[in-house]
Amino acid sequence: MSVHTRPQDTFAAHPLVSSNGTAVRFTHVARHFGAVKAVDGLDLEIRAGEFFSMLGPSGSGKTTCLRLIAGFEQPDAGEISIFDEPVAGIPPYRRAVNTVFQDYALFPHLNILDNVTYGLRIRGMGRAEREKLGREALALVKLIGFDTRRPPQLSGGQRQRVALARALVNRPKVLLLDEPLGALDLKLREEMQVELKALQRSLGLTFIFVTHDQGEALSMSDRVAVFNAGHIVQVGTPEEVYERPQTRFVAEFVGGSNVLEPAVSARFGGPERLISLRPEAIAVRSSGVASEIGRLHASGTCIEVQYQGAMRRVIADCAGVRLCALVNAAEVRDLNPGERISLSWLPAAMHAMEDGR
Per-residue pLDDT of 157-193, as tens digits, reads: 888 889 999 999 988 999 999 988 877 788 888 888 8
**Average per-residue pLDDT for the chain:** 89
Average pLDDT of span 318-343: 93
Per-residue pLDDT, 49: 95
Please give the domain boundaries of the chain with CATH numbers for all domains: 7-249 (3.40.50.300), 253-352 (2.40.50.100)
23 pairs with which residues across the strands?
none
For the ranges 186-190, 197-201, 349-353, the lowest mean pLDDT is seen at: 186-190
Q: Which run of H or E residues covers position 161? A: helix 156-168
Q: Tell me the mean pLDDT in the region 245-250.
A: 95
Distance in angstroms (rounded) separating the CA atoms of residues 273 and 288 = 29
Query: pLDDT per residue over 122-131, tens digit each?
Result: 888 999 999 9
* Helix (H) / strand (E) containing 215: helix 214-220
Q: pLDDT of 57-108, one tens digit each?
A: 999 999 999 999 999 999 999 999 999 999 999 999 899 999 998 777 899 9
What whole-number percentage of the chain has pLDDT above 70? 92
Burial (CB count <10 Å: 0-12, 13-18, 19+), residue 345: buried
Single-letter residue type at 283 = A
- The rounded distance, in Å, linking the Cα atoms of 191 and 185 is 10
In the chain, how long is the greatest CA-to-CA distance?
Answer: 79
Confidence (pTM): 0.88
Q: What is the DSSP letter of 290?
A: P
The pLDDT tens digits for 23-54 are 999 999 999 999 999 999 999 999 999 999 99
